[in-house]
Amino acid sequence: MKTAMILTAAALAGAGFLAVANAQGVPQTVEIARVDIQTVSAGYRASKVVGAAVANDANETIGKIDDLLVTRDGKEPYAVLSIGSFLGMGGKMVVVRYDSLKFVDGKILLPGGTKDGLTMLPAFDYAKP
């Protein structure tokens, strides 16, 4: 029994050594960038942004954020806005560029946005998997 335990421990140690040796020969393919964690931690969580009201310059509510989407290449974020609905009924969804939204004093603004202007945008439907 002791011999089996010793052989098992030796095999595990050898496997660990091989994994380390192999890892040393593999080049790093992911660039790691330093971020200011103070700034990031003070930001807005996606879970808090989704469902939030969106207002215009006149402080009129013009919709709410239904979802956040990123293009397949991961480079362009968008916000899906639910507009014209009452208690989740009716209305439609439209998409705006995420960078068109402004976060000011705990509010989400769409400068220059109006209910009529958003209604003129094409309706958005989620792609079927």
Mean pLDDT in consecutive groups of 10 residues from the start of the chain, 129 residues? 43 47 65 86 88 94 95 94 74 94 94 93 88
Tell me what pLDDT residue 57 has: 92
Backbone φ and ψ of 68, nearest 5°:
-120, 135
Strand partners, 90: none
Residue 119 gets the label, from left (phi > 0), alpha (psi -120 to 50) or beta, of alpha
User: Which residue has tokens 């660039």?
Assistant: 31
Tell me what pLDDT residue 8 has: 43
Tell me what pLDDT residue 87 has: 60
> Per residue in 34-49, pLDDT tens?
888 888 888 888 888 9
Domains in the chain, start-ordered, CATH in brackets?
Answer: 45-119 (2.30.30.240)
- C-beta separation of 47 from 57 below 8 A: no
Tell me what pLDDT residue 24 has: 64
Start-to-end CA distance of the chain, whole Å, equals 54
Tell me what pLDDT residue 4 has: 43
Residues 90 and 13: their CA atoms lie apart, in Å, by 63
Which burial class, exposed, middle or buried, applies to 113 when counting CB atoms under 10 A from its CB (0-12, 13-18, 19+)?
Answer: buried
pTM over 0.85: no
